[in-house]
Amino acid sequence: MIRRLAALLALVAAPALASDALRPPLLLTGQRADVQDLSGRWTYSKDYYRTGLTDINGWVAKSRMQRYRDVDVAAEEAKPGTAFFEFDLDRGPAMEIPGAWNAAAPELRWYDGLIWFQRRFDAAPAKPGQRSFLRFEAVNYRAHVYLNGKEVGRHEGGFTPFVLEVTDVLRAQGNRLVVGVDSRHDAQSIPGEITDWDLYGGITRPVKLIQTPATFIDDATLRLTEAGRLVGSLQLNGAQAAGQAVSVQIDALNLKARATTDAHGEARFDIAAPGALKRWSPESPLLYAVRFASDGDAVDDRVGFRTLAVKGSEILLNGKPITLRGVSIHEEELGANPARRLTDSAARALLSEVKTGLNGNYVRLSHYPHSETMLRAADELGLLVWNEIPVYWTVDWDNPAVLLKARRQQAETIYRDRNRAALALWSVGNETPVAENRTRFHAALAATVRELDPSRLISAALLVERQGDTVRIADPLLPHLDVMAVNTYAGWYGDDRLEDLARLKWALPTDKPLLVSEFGADALAGYHDLSAQPKKWSEEFQAAYYRATLAMLGRIPNLRGLSPWVLKDFRSPRREHPIFQNGWNRKGLISETGQRKQAFEVMAEHYKTLPSNR
């Protein structure tokens, strides 16, 4: 009882944790000159029992199993003696990185555990005083990183970036980078052990070697305020970070502002927005080339400027009401064997289906932070974004360590994406059961967002409560949200027939905008039922479901946006009907290979009739 009370008190106190404690020690945001992409063929070695980390009884791993060792196994084996090895990453099988191992080989399709990856590379000659870093955009789920036999860092969380300094370990030639990737989830991970999507183990996003001056720009941001000011900051890292002259420059606006860093290496900008500045919007997604500079370093970015607010039941973009016409999406590229390899072309192929195919202006990136490539493509195409962390269904609500993991994932995402004009909504969770401990957990996450990024809106995908034919939100989390959002599947799950949807009444608060963050029905592309009452799983039933649901939702007075579930059929181990699913969730408006279903056209026509701005 005492331990439980202590845990609850820790959760109550959690919002007081300063943002400085959540800021990753290194960020290296923006686009830089001295970057070496380590994408390509990496060798690997399976380690299901984790013998490369620990031996039986928790003993130190045997040297013959330590995959991270900086050793030429073949050369050592050629020497006389009794030593032997039970690994050889130099001669091991290889796969393409970035990319999930689930798609690399049939025997890895359902592998869930530890795999060691190795990349051999030479580094560009270092300049005097230069520092070197490895930036991982995502490793799912836990990463143990070694360079040339020395551990340089660890990270937990499968969808956010992390940076490790390797200045003192890096060699000019023959570097051996080894990453132990453990995909296994448990009761203390974010997300937990059970989800409705494929978790995809591996190094799923790019790895880069970045070289900087001794004192470098670690982070820089700039945004437009409601008062018409461009405000931002620049953070230096290094021994000479304090008292340095820095600047921000936008040539297209003839703008250049200077500032001086404080004792902590931070400088702030507050500039009147030039009259020539044009605001970013889905109709005109203009991005400006912005350069942040210090003595000896520079970082570039492409930034759009717009304002976002809530007024009563309206969402205001650049001061004008907007209706969000969108769809939910998982981070899977089109194709029969997705590897979560979201290149720029793969991201644009998906988002173009939303923008031009569905006549959309919005996308819900579910249920975790998607690749930075997706966010930048949304910036360029003109799609507002809902960004979510994977506090999904249920986690260990009473565990302060789990809350800290969630808050760190939230912070890592915010620091990565603050310069993206497309980003409109931070979601703090999806379909979590109402309970006092759960509400405290989410409230702490909402407080984290408000402290780190008060310029964007906060939401969460909530469950609804059914009382006869009346649908209600009975969720104490509502006061912590700017925008209400609900998931509903009446007519697919449960006993409702499609004709019953016309009777449903939505008794919801009207003082905030409402988004319907999910609704949908499964259909196998190409399966048809032309009868008067088509059966479930057919394209005809899915299309009829969409028509009935859209008619029902159209009666909600403060409805301000939709993101039906889901753009594309996606992998899910929960879905195993041998005819219609076979490991795929079939609620997509298009199939996994891009075949449009009838409901796609229903949704596209509906959005075509809605005004761009209310």
Beta bridge partners of 546: none
Q: Answer whether residue 614 shows pLDDT above 80.
A: no
Q: According to the model, what pLDDT value does residue 9 have? A: 44
Beta bridge partners of 222: 232
- CA 212, 214, 216 angle in degrees (round to 5)? 55
DSSP at 431: S
425 membership: H or E segment, kind and range: strand 423-430
- CA 553, 554, 555 angle in degrees (round to 5)? 90
Distance, in Å, from the CA atom of 143 to the CA atom of 155, rounded to the nearest integer, reads: 5
For 512, counting Cβ atoms within 10 Å of its Cβ (0-12 exposed, 13-18 middle, 19+ buried), the class is: buried
Distance, in Å, from the CA atom of 320 to the CA atom of 318, rounded to the nearest integer, reads: 6
Given a contact cutoff of 8 angstroms between Cβ atoms, the answer to whether 280 and 423 are in contact is: no
Q: Answer whether residue 3 shows pLDDT above 70.
A: no
Given a contact cutoff of 8 angstroms between Cβ atoms, the answer to whether 365 and 326 are in contact is: no
Confidence of residue 613 (pLDDT cuts 50, 70, 90): low
Given a contact cutoff of 8 angstroms between Cβ atoms, the answer to whether 354 and 363 are in contact is: yes
177 membership: H or E segment, kind and range: strand 175-182
Considering the chain, what percentage of its residues have pLDDT values greater than 70? 96
For each of the domains in the chain, give its residue range(s) and CATH number, in order of start.
31-211 (2.60.120.260), 216-308 (2.60.40.10), 318-609 (3.20.20.80)
At 576, list the tokens: 């195993």
Mean pLDDT computed over every residue of the chain: 95
Q: According to the model, what pLDDT value does residue 451 have? A: 96
Counting other chains too, the contacts that 436-442 makes at CB distance below 8 Å and 24 or more residues apart are 437/8, 437/11, 437/397, 437/398, 438/394, 438/397, 439/475, 439/476, 439/477, 440/8, 440/11, 440/12, 440/397, 441/11, 441/391, 441/395, 441/397, 441/403, 441/406, 442/391, 442/477, 442/480
Compute the radius of gyration of the chain from its Cα atoms.
Answer: 25
Q: Answer whether residue 231 shows pLDDT above 90.
A: yes
For residue range 167-213, list pLDDT tens digits in order. Answer: 999 999 999 999 999 999 999 999 999 999 998 999 999 999 999 99
Beta bridge partners of 298: 293
Q: Answer whether residue 58 shows pLDDT above 90.
A: no
**What value does the mean pLDDT take over residues 414-427?**
98
For residue range 93-120, list pLDDT tens digits in order. Answer: 999 999 999 999 999 999 999 999 999 9
Considering the chain, what percentage of its residues have pLDDT values greater than 90? 94
**What value does the mean pLDDT take over residues 465-485?**
95
Q: Answer whether residue 453 shows pLDDT above 70.
A: yes
Q: Answer whether residue 10 shows pLDDT above 80.
A: no
For 477, counting Cβ atoms within 10 Å of its Cβ (0-12 exposed, 13-18 middle, 19+ buried), the class is: buried
Q: How far is C-alpha 420 from the chain's CA centre? A: 13
Confidence of residue 21 (pLDDT cuts 50, 70, 90): confident
SS (H, E, C) 67-98: CCCCCCHHHHHCCCCCCCCCCCHHHCCEEEEC
Name residue, tokens 């027939």: 497
Given a contact cutoff of 8 angstroms between Cβ atoms, the answer to whether 436 and 448 are in contact is: no
Q: According to the model, what pLDDT value does residue 588 have? A: 98
Confidence of residue 13 (pLDDT cuts 50, 70, 90): very low
Distance, in Å, from the CA atom of 614 to the CA atom of 608, rounded to the nearest integer, reads: 14
Q: Answer whether residue 481 shows pLDDT above 60.
A: yes
Reduced to 3 states, what is the DSSP secondary structure of residue 385?
A: strand
Q: Answer whether residue 71 shows pLDDT above 60.
A: yes
Q: Answer whether residue 7 shows pLDDT above 80.
A: no
For residue range 310-336, list pLDDT tens digits in order. Answer: 999 999 999 999 999 999 999 999 999
Least confident of 118-132, 157-171, 480-494, 567-581: 118-132
Pairing, β 484-487 against β 142-147: unpaired
DSSP at 433: P
Q: According to the model, what pLDDT value does residue 80 have? A: 94
Given a contact cutoff of 8 angstroms between Cβ atoms, the answer to whether 234 and 246 are in contact is: yes
Other beta carbons within 10 Å of 156: 17
Q: Answer whether residue 348 shows pLDDT above 70.
A: yes
**What value does the mean pLDDT take over residues 429-455?**
97
Distance, in Å, from the CA atom of 462 to the CA atom of 479, rounded to the nearest integer, reads: 13
**What value does the mean pLDDT take over residues 263-273?**
98
Q: Give Cα separations from 16 to 19, 90, 441, 449, 573 (angstroms).
A: 9, 48, 13, 13, 39
For residue range 513-571, list pLDDT tens digits in order. Answer: 999 999 999 999 999 999 999 999 999 999 999 999 999 999 999 999 999 999 999 99
Question: For the whole model, what pTM was predicted?
Answer: 0.95
Sheet holding 288-294, edge to edge: 255-260, 245-250, 288-294, 297-303
Least confident of 142-151, 272-281, 458-467, 604-613: 604-613
Q: According to the model, what pLDDT value does residue 431 have? A: 96
Reduced to 3 states, what is the DSSP secondary structure of residue 161?
A: coil
Confidence of residue 4 (pLDDT cuts 50, 70, 90): very low
Least confident of 14-28, 353-367, 542-556: 14-28
412 membership: H or E segment, kind and range: helix 400-417
Residue 318, by phi and psi: left (phi above 0), alpha (psi -120 to 50) or beta?
A: left
Q: Answer whether residue 15 shows pLDDT above 60.
A: no
For residues 294-309, one letter each, b for 16 or more C-beta atoms within 10 angstroms of the residue's C-beta and e for the rest, the string is beebbbebbbbbbbbe
| Nearest to 174, CA basis, from 92, 241, 118 | 118
Q: Answer whether residue 2 shows pLDDT above 90.
A: no
Distance, in Å, from the CA atom of 352 to the CA atom of 366, rounded to the nearest integer, reads: 17
Q: According to the model, what pLDDT value does residue 5 have? A: 45
